[in-house]
């Protein structure tokens, strides 16, 4: 994922290929989100703003490619000893032609990558690609929430339930995520408690640190809500 901060200056205007477009039937949600992400990166160009602090679209594209194709370096996001290697490899890929990065994303990981396995791709990339697609879309001035089908919303909720404690571990307050139908997931135990209500796709963005861009309602103590909304500790 990425560190999330304010939007970068100088946003570009571009047509959103998601709106009004019907994709063919894909074998997995991850594959569908992969193609959407590649299309958005191509349409936006290499210097468009994203919701990731300090990243333009070129940086985001390089991150996605390194994560899938360079497991020897990608572990630097979690292992301190590999951090410098991750930085070097990421800089190398950031310097590649932008069109090449997009093609590498679109064609998917090489056979030696764990992500080449359908089960791993679906489990690890559905959320990754959805969130990064929204990192691009919602950094633009004319964005609107996508209309997602109920099956995909349920898939995102299932993943959110499994990762809620991990993404919410740094929350400054107690944190409960609630779907409109009343289903809940406890992301962080503590008091005071803030309840965040929204569709699973929006709750996912909130839990992954995109609080300012998520379409949700927050209930609880006003001071606690303000602390949670401004927190930089949500997400993985």
Residues 13-58 have pLDDT tens digits of 344 444 434 443 345 899 999 999 999 999 999 999 999 989 999 9
Calculate mean pLDDT across residues 100-127. Answer: 90
Domains parsed from the chain with CATH numbers = 29-137 (no CATH), 150-230 (3.30.1050.20)
Has residue 145 got a pLDDT over 80?
yes
Least trusted range by pLDDT, from 62-76, 112-126, 132-146, 180-194: 62-76
Long-range contacts of the stretch 30-36 (C-beta < 8 A, 24+): 30/121, 30/122, 30/124, 30/125, 30/126, 30/129, 31/121, 33/125, 33/126, 33/129, 33/130, 33/133, 34/105, 34/106, 34/108, 34/125, 34/129, 35/106, 36/129, 36/133
pTM score = 0.86
Has residue 8 got a pLDDT over 50?
no
pLDDT of residue 114: 84
User: Mean pLDDT score of the chain, rounded to an integer?
Assistant: 87
Least trusted range by pLDDT, from 1-10, 22-31, 61-70, 215-224: 1-10
pLDDT of residue 105: 96
Specify whether the backbone of 185 is left (phi greater than 0), alpha (psi in -120 to 50) or beta.
Answer: beta
What percent of the chain clears pLDDT 70, i.e. is strictly above it?
85
pLDDT of residue 136: 97
pLDDT of residue 77: 67
CA 117 to chain centre: 21
Calculate mean pLDDT across residues 82-93. Answer: 86
pLDDT of residue 13: 37
pLDDT of residue 21: 40
Calculate mean pLDDT across residues 112-140. Answer: 92
User: Which pairing describes strands 193-197 and 174-178: parallel, antiparallel, or unpaired?
Assistant: parallel
């Amino acid at each position: 994922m990425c560190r999330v901060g304010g939007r970068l200056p100088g946003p570009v205007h571009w047509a959103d290929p998601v709106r009004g477009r019907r994709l063919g039937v894909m074998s997995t949600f991850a594959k569908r989100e992969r193609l959407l992400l590649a299309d958005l990166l191509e349409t936006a160009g290499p210097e468009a703003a994203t919701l990731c602090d300090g990243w333009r679209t070129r940086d985001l594209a390089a991150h996605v490619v390194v994560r899938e194709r360079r497991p020897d370096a990608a572990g630097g996001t979690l292992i301190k000893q590999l951090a410098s290697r991750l930085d070097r490899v990421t800089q190398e890929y950031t310097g590649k032609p932008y069109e090449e990065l997009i093609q590498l994303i679109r064609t998917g990981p090489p056979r030696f990558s764990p992500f080449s396995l359908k089960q791993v791709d679906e489990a690890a990339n559905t959320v990754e690609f959805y969130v990064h697609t929204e990192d691009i879309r919602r950094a633009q001035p004319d964005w609107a929430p996508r209309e997602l089908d109920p099956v995909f919303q349920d898939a995102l909720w299932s993943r959110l339930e499994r990762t809620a404690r991990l993404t919410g571990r740094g929350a400054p307050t107690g944190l409960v995520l609630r779907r409109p139908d009343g289903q809940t997931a406890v992301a962080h135990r503590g008091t005071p408690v803030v309840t965040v209500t929204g569709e699973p796709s929006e709750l996912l963005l909130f839990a992954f640190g995109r609080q300012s861009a998520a379409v949700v309602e927050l209930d609880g103590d006003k001071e606690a809500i303000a602390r949670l909304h401004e927190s930089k500790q949500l997400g993985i």
